[in-house]
């Protein structure tokens, strides 16, 4: 065979031992080359390239995965933002109004929470409920731009410094 063809032949091994007398005696005993075992090298293009259909399917799968991941990340970010925003409740105002001393005074009071909650304000209305120093404090928390109150509550507070407490001088 011509070496310029660059063909590859698979080695044929005979089950019988090769002896010179054997080959010389019969031409039929010579090993024959089976043409179905000859493999020619394929062209470079068909071996290394993908078909257009394979590229389209692969890019479709890739983009479906990318969009699924983006949707999941968007959902996680939205949930994280909602957890970061805490609503102000009236219990925080009650802690501020009553404080550590448990002293309250009749009347109305309003205020805000400064930089901690810049869009929120509160109003309190304090009045005596009973003659034993028990006061009711009605608290309403509002958010700027929203007509309905965000939260409201009423608490009862005993004021030991009240002038109406039995046994205390007036």
Per-residue pLDDT of 62-90, as tens digits, reads: 999 999 999 999 999 998 887 876 677 78
Is the pLDDT at 132 greater than 90? The verdict is: no
Mean pLDDT score, 32-56: 73
Reported confidence tier of residue 114, pLDDT bands at 50, 70, 90: confident
- CB proximity list for 114: less than 8 A, separation 6 or greater: none
Cα 169 to chain centroid, rounded? 64
What does the pLDDT read at residue 53?
94
Tell the burial category of 43 from Cβ atoms under 10 Å away from its Cβ (0-12, 13-18, 19+): exposed
Domain regions of the chain by residue span: 51-85, 90-158
What does the pLDDT read at residue 98?
76
What does the pLDDT read at residue 75?
94
pTM score of the predicted model: 0.47
| Distance of alpha carbon 98 from alpha carbon 133, whole angstroms | 14
Q: Is the CATH code 1.20.140.10 the one for domain 90-158?
A: no
Reported confidence tier of residue 42, pLDDT bands at 50, 70, 90: low
Which tokens is 138 given?
A: 């009605």
**pLDDT greater at residue 169 or residue 151:** 151
% residues pLDDT > 70 (the chain): 64
Which tokens is 112 given?
A: 């805000």
Per the prediction, the chain carries an average pLDDT of: 77
**pLDDT greater at residue 63 or residue 50:** 63
Which tokens is 147 given?
A: 């007509």
């Amino acid at each position: 065979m011509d070496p310029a063809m660059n063909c590859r032949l698979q080695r044929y091994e005979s089950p019988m031992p090769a002896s010179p007398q054997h080959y010389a005696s019969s031409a039929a005993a010579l090993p024959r080359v089976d043409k179905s075992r000859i493999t020619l090298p394929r062209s470079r293009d068909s071996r290394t390239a993908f078909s257009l259909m394979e590229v389209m399917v692969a890019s479709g799968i890739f983009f479906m995965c990318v969009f699924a991941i983006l949707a999941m990340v968007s959902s996680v970010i939205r949930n994280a933002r909602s957890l970061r925003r805490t609503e102000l409740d009236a219990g925080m105002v009650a802690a501020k109004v009553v404080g550590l001393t448990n002293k309250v005074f009749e009347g109305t009071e309003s205020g805000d929470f400064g930089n901690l909650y810049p869009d929120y304000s509160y109003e309190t209305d304090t009045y005596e409920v009973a003659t034993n120093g028990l006061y009711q404090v009605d608290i309403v928390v509002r958010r700027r731009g929203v007509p309905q109150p965000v939260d409201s509550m009423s608490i009862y507070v005993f004021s030991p410094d009240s002038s109406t407490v039995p046994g205390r001088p007036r």
